[in-house]
Structure 1
Amino acid sequence: MVAMAKNKNSTGGAPSQRQLRVGEVIRRRLSELLQRGDIHDPDLERMSITVGEVRCSPDLSIATAYVLPLGGQGQEEALAALRKNRHEIRKQVSKALTIKFAPEIRFAIDDTYDRMDATRRLLADEHVRQDLDD
């Protein structure tokens, strides 16, 4: 029986340079589209949405954009508006890419700031402070 080599990313390894590069190009282009109002949807035009990160699958067929509306309010509405316009967004983003096929773009809420706040609260806890001071 011949064992087939697995791509290190299929088992949860670090992303490749290509994944990181493509993700950053998509993040920049998506940010520009949303900032300038190039997606013609009144719901998106009235929202200010930050694109924190874009992660690509190892085969670059799927790109997940982590977004957050300004102030963190209206997260579900922002996701719904982005998902409704995903085809137009994909078409616009693909113009900035030099790869053969444009990835499917999925949207998720960026919880980085929530996790940072939770870490700060944990480190500020008196029991943790006591352990750190020892």
Structure 2
Amino acid sequence: MAKTRAHAGAAAGQRQLRVAEVIRRSLSAILARGEVHDPDLAHVSVTVAEVKVSPDLRHATAFVLPLGGVNTEGVVRALTRNRAEIRRLVTAQIDLKYSPELSFEPDLSFDRMDRTRELLGSPAVRRDLDRD
């Protein structure tokens, strides 16, 4: 019987989640220790909020945010510019058959949470909630 393939919108499997967490921890440690030699990353504390891994484990997208959210685009550009070195450092710490290709995206979840709080605190929503 043939294996069924996950749909594009399907949730990540356990292996994907475990590998993503291992990569996230490795990236966090590498960035915290300052192992990437780039002046744009020299004195910047970067938070790796989440890593998403493709089903074949060959591509990983890290969602990052510098402390305070200052110069996010510059930090993402610097990480992207140094992704070969970062990939080499991550590969040295993890045990996978293939070294995943890394990409970096800004983490927008904090902005979305702030916007949600703002919407829930607006007078129109308060008025509707107070009716009950």
**1:71 equivalent in structure 2:** 68
- Could you give the per-residue CA deviations for residues 66-121 of structure 1, whole angstroms, max 9, x where no partner exists? 00111111111101110111001001101222210011000000001000001101
The root-mean-square deviation of aligned C-alpha atoms, in Å, is 1.4
**1:7 equivalent in structure 2:** 5
**1:32 equivalent in structure 2:** 29
Unaligned stretches of 5+ in structure 2?
none
3-state DSSP class of the match of 1:15? coil
TM norm structure 1: 0.91
Q: Which amino acid aligns with 1:85?
A: N
Q: Which amino acid aligns with 2:9?
A: G
In 1, the alpha carbon distance for the partners of 2:3 and 2:14 equals 20
Query: Is the CA contact 1:39–1:88 (under 8 Å) kept in the aligned structure 2?
Result: yes
In 2, the alpha carbon distance for the partners of 1:111 and 1:105 equals 18
3-state DSSP class of the match of 1:95? helix
In 1, the alpha carbon distance for the partners of 2:71 and 2:26 equals 23
Unaligned stretches of 5+ in structure 1?
none
In 1, the alpha carbon distance for the partners of 2:96 and 2:17 equals 14
TM norm structure 2: 0.92
Per-residue deviation, 1:130: 2.2
Per-residue deviation, 1:47: 1.4
Aligned length: 130
5 Å-filtered alignment, 1:107-122, equals 107-122=104-119
Q: Does 1:131 align with 2:128?
A: yes
> Percent of counterpart pairs with the same letter?
53
